[in-house]
Structure 1
Amino acid sequence: MRPLKLGMVGGGQGAFIGGVHRMAARLDGHWQLVAGAFSSDAVRAHASAAELGIDLDRSYGSFTDMAAQEAAHPDRIDAVAIVTPNHMHAPAAIAFLEAGIPVICDKPLTATMDQAHALAQTVRDTGTPFFLTHNYTGYPLIREARAMVARGDLGKIRVIQAEYAQGWLAQPLEGEGQKQAAWRTDPDKSGAGGAIGDIGTHALNLLSFVTGEVPAHLSADLQSFVSGRKLDDNAHITLRFDSGARGMIWASQVAVGCENGLRLRIYGDEAGLEWSQEDPNRMKLTSLNAPARWLTRAGAGTSDLATRIPAGHPEGYLEAFATLYAEIARALRGENEAAELVPGLNAGLEGMAFISACVASSSTGGKWVSLD
C-alpha cells in the first residue's frame, strides 16, 4: 500500500513540533512528506524545504499559494498538517478545507473563539475531514484506561484529577529571544490562554478522552508569576461534571524541576487508576479492599491496544503521536472506525470553551462558570 502524500504548513527551521509531526507521520510508513509552506518568510520556507528533501516546485512561500496550487496539482497531497503558532491555525485550516484537502491540526484548535466558530462552520460547510493532534490519547495504556472505564471496571466515577507540570518558563525566556517562549507568551499569537492553552488543554482532553466526561462547570485561579508576563503560567482549576463527579486540573510552566509531568488519576466507587506520561508503560490499578496492581503495556491483564512491540520494550511520545497519524491514514482510506479515537472538531471546541471559561472565572475571583 503506497504512503499517503502529506503537506505541512509551519514547522520549518527553528521549530519544535513540526519535526515531531514529521517523525510520527513516517514511523509506520503511512505518510510521505511531499510539499510544504514551512515558514511565513519565503526564503526560510524554501531553505527548510531543501533541508527536508522537498522538490522546489512543491515548496511554497505562503499557505494560500499552497492550498490553491495543491488543490489543482495532478498528484495533490492527501492531507496537510498545520503546525504553526495558534493564531495561524484557523486561516490556514480554512484555506485547505475550502480547497477540499483534509486537515491535521495541532492543538489548541485556534487562538480565539471567533476563529474557532469560523473554522467549525467551514468544516460543516465543506464536509472535509478535520483532525486534531491531542497526541497523548495515542498511548496504549491511555487506550486501556478508556476501555476499563467504559466497561465499568472502576464503578461509578467520583474523582477525576489531571495535572501537567513543566518548569521551562520559570524565567522570562520570552525576553531572551527564545522562539518557543516568545509566541507562547504573546496573546496575539497564543490567544487568551498561556499555560491553560498550551498544556491545560492536553490535561482536559486526556481526562475527557478516558472518562467520556466533559466538565459542565469550572472555577479557575490563573496566575502569571513571572514579572511582566502577559499570559498565565500557572493554573488551578476545579471541575464539576454532570454525572456528579468532581475533578481538578493543575497546569503549570513554572514548576521548577518538572519536565513534562502529565498525570491522570481517576477514582470510582470500586477502583482507581493512576498514569504518568513520564512513565507511560505502567499504570497503577487500585481496587477496593485489594492490593494495588501495576498494569504494563501489552503485559498480563492488558490488551494490545495501539501497541507495536512486545511487552518490556518501552514505547513513548513519538509512538503515541504516530498512532494518531496511522489512524488518520486509515480513516482517509475509508476505514471509518479508525477515526473514532482520533480527536477532531468537537475536542477542539471543548478546549476553546475551557480556555474561555478559565479566563472568565479567574477574572471574577474564581466564580463558577458554565462550559457551553
Structure 2
Amino acid sequence: MRRLRMGMIGGGAGAFIGPVHRIAAELDREIELVAGVFSSDAARSADAAVDYRIAPERAYASLDSMFSQEAARSDGIDFVSIVSPNHHHVQAAQVALAAGLPVFVEKPLTTSLEEAKMLRDLVLSSGLPLGVAYTYSGYPLVREARARILAGELGDIRKVVVEYPQGWLAGDALGKQAEWRVDPARAGLGGCIADIGVHAFHLAEFVTGLRVTRLLADLGTVVPGRLLDDDCSILLRFENGARGVLLASQIETGELNGLRIRVYGDKGGLVWKQEEPNTLTISRNDGSSTSLRAGTSVLSPDAVARTRTPGGHPEGYLEAFANLYRDFAAMLRGESAPLLPDINEGVRGMMFIQTAVTASRENLGWVTVEH
C-alpha cells in the first residue's frame, strides 16, 4: 500500500508548526510530504523545499499553480495540510476542496464563525474529509481518560477544570510566530482564546463527551497596546449540569505549555497534564488512587493502538500529532476514524471563540453556546 502524498500550504522559513506537521505526518510512513506552497514568495517557497528535502520543481508560488500542476502528474498529491496563519485557512481550504482534495487544517478552523459555517457547507457538499489539528486529542492517555469517563468510571460528571498557561507573550510580541498571533488581520477576532483557549475547550468536551451549553467569559488584554486578548477566564456549564472552569493565558511569566485537565464525578476524579503526558491519575471516593502509565496493557484498545513504544519510553507531542495524521490517513483509505476532529469540531471551536469574545466584550454575563 503506497504512502499518501501530502501537499503543504504554509510552513516556510521561521515557521514552528510546519516542520511539526511534516514530522508527524511521516512518522508512521503512511504519508510523505512531496509538494507545497510554503510561502507566497517564490524564492522563500523554494528555500523551504530544500529544507524539507523535496524536489525543487514541486515548490510552488501559488495555490493555483500547485493544484493544476500536481493534478497533471501521475504521482500528484492526495491531500493538503494547511499550516499557514489563520487568515489563510478558509481560502486555501476552498481552493483545495474545489480541486477535489481532502484537507487537514490547523486550528482554529477560520478567523470567524461565518467563514467556518460556509466552509462546513463546502465540505458537506464535496463529500471530502476535513480534519482539524486539535493535537491533544491524539495523546493515548487523553483517549484513555475519555474511554474511562464514557464507561462510567467517574460516575456522573460534576466539575471540569481545564487550564492552559503559557508565558511567552508576557512581554513584547517579537518574532514571526508572535507577531501574527497578536494581529487581528491575521489571527482573527481572538488572540489567546483562539490560539490556545480553543484547545482547552476542545479537550474538555472531548474527554468528557459532554457539550458546553453556557459560558461566562472574562477575556483580558494585559500587555499595553495589544489589540487581542492575552488572558482568559471562563466559567462553563455542561449539558448535564456540570460546572466548569477554563483558564487560558499567554502572559503567565515562567509557564511553558502547561495544559492540564481535571474531571470530577460522584465516584471519582482524574487528572492529566500535557507536560507529563504519560501518566493519568484516577482517584476514588475511598481515598485510593491509580496512576495509569502509557505503554501498558491495562489501557483501552484505542490507547494501546496509539502508543508506539513500551512503557517507560516516553512519548509526547509529536507522537500525539502523528496519531491524528494516522487517523486522517485511515479515513482517506476508507476506514473508520471516529475520534479524529472533523469539520464539525472546527465549527464548534469557532462557535466557542466567537461566543466568548462577544460575551466578554459586551459584558453579557452568562450566554448560550449554540450546538
Q: In structure 2, which of residues 252, 255, 258 is the aligned counterpart of residue 255 of structure 1?
A: 252
Output the CA distance in 2 between the equivalents of 1:73 and 1:133: 28
Q: In structure 1, which of residues 195, 198, 216 is the aligned counterpart of residue 213 of structure 2?
A: 216
Deviates more, 1:123-132 or 1:358-367: 358-367
Give the direction of change, closer, same or farther, for the CA distance of 1:301–1:288 in structure 2 (3 Å limit). farther
Match of 1:190 in 2: 187
Output the CA distance in 2 between the equivalents of 1:268 and 1:65: 54
Output the CA distance in 2 between the equivalents of 1:219 and 1:152: 28
Output the CA distance in 1 between the equivalents of 2:181 and 2:49: 25
Match of 2:265 in 1: 268
Amino acid at match of 2:347: L
- What are the within-5 Å matches in structure 2 for residues 95-174 of structure 1? 95-173=95-173
Amino acid at match of 1:259: L
- Displacement of 1:53 in angstroms is 2.1
Give the direction of change, closer, same or farther, for the CA distance of 1:57–1:300 in structure 2 (3 Å limit). closer
- Displacement of 1:116 in angstroms is 1.0
Query: TM-score, normalized by length of structure 2?
Result: 0.96
Q: Cα RMSD (Å) of the superposition?
A: 1.2
Q: Secondary structure at the match of 2:11?
A: coil
Output the CA distance in 2 between the equivalents of 1:331 and 1:290: 42
Q: Secondary structure at the match of 2:276?
A: coil
Amino acid at match of 1:213: L
Where do 4+ consecutive residues of structure 1 move more than 4 Å? none
Amino-acid identity (%): 50
- What are the within-5 Å matches in structure 2 for residues 25-40 of structure 1? 25-40=25-40
Output the CA distance in 2 between the equivalents of 1:66 and 1:122: 21
- Displacement of 1:38 in angstroms is 0.2
Task: Answer whether contact 1:64 1:92 (CA < 8 A) is retained.
Answer: no
Task: Answer whether contact 1:7 1:35 (CA < 8 A) is retained.
Answer: yes
Task: Answer whether contact 1:71 1:101 (CA < 8 A) is retained.
Answer: no
- Displacement of 1:305 in angstroms is 4.2
Q: In structure 1, which of residues 290, 296, 302 is the aligned counterpart of residue 287 of structure 2?
A: 290
Output the CA distance in 2 between the equivalents of 1:43 and 1:115: 31
Amino acid at match of 2:79: A
- Displacement of 1:269 in angstroms is 0.6
Stretches of structure 1 that go unaligned for 5 or more consecutive residues are: none
Q: Secondary structure at the match of 1:232?
A: coil
Task: Answer whether contact 2:82 2:104 (CA < 8 A) is retained.
Answer: yes
Task: Answer whether contact 2:153 2:268 (CA < 8 A) is retained.
Answer: yes
Task: Answer whether contact 2:129 2:331 (CA < 8 A) is retained.
Answer: no
Q: Secondary structure at the match of 1:158?
A: strand
- What are the within-5 Å matches in structure 2 for residues 1-372 of structure 1? 1-173=1-173, 176=174, 178-299=175-296, 301-303=298-300, 304-335=304-335, 337=336, 339-365=337-363, 367-372=365-370
Give the direction of change, closer, same or farther, for the CA distance of 1:290–1:301 in structure 2 (3 Å limit). farther
Output the CA distance in 1 between the equivalents of 2:313 and 2:364: 45
Q: Secondary structure at the match of 1:260?
A: coil
Q: Secondary structure at the match of 1:261?
A: coil
Output the CA distance in 1 between the equivalents of 2:41 and 2:56: 15
Q: Deviations over 1:179-231 (max 9, x none)?
A: 11100000110011100000001001111111111211111001110000000
Task: Answer whether contact 1:111 1:191 (CA < 8 A) is retained.
Answer: yes
- Displacement of 1:64 in angstroms is 2.7
- Displacement of 1:158 in angstroms is 0.6
Output the CA distance in 2 between the equivalents of 1:205 and 1:71: 35
Output the CA distance in 2 between the equivalents of 1:118 and 1:43: 33
Count of aligned residue pairs for this structure pair? 367
- Displacement of 1:50 in angstroms is 2.4
Q: Secondary structure at the match of 1:216?
A: strand
Task: Answer whether contact 1:143 1:305 (CA < 8 A) is retained.
Answer: no
Deviates more, 1:52-61 or 1:106-115: 52-61
Output the CA distance in 1 between the equivalents of 2:344 and 2:117: 11
- Displacement of 1:46 in angstroms is 1.3
Output the CA distance in 1 between the equivalents of 2:305 and 2:197: 26
Deviates more, 1:164-173 or 1:301-310: 301-310
- Displacement of 1:71 in angstroms is 3.1
Q: Deviations over 1:82-114 (max 9, x none)?
A: 000000000001100111111010111001122
Output the CA distance in 2 between the equivalents of 1:204 and 1:65: 37
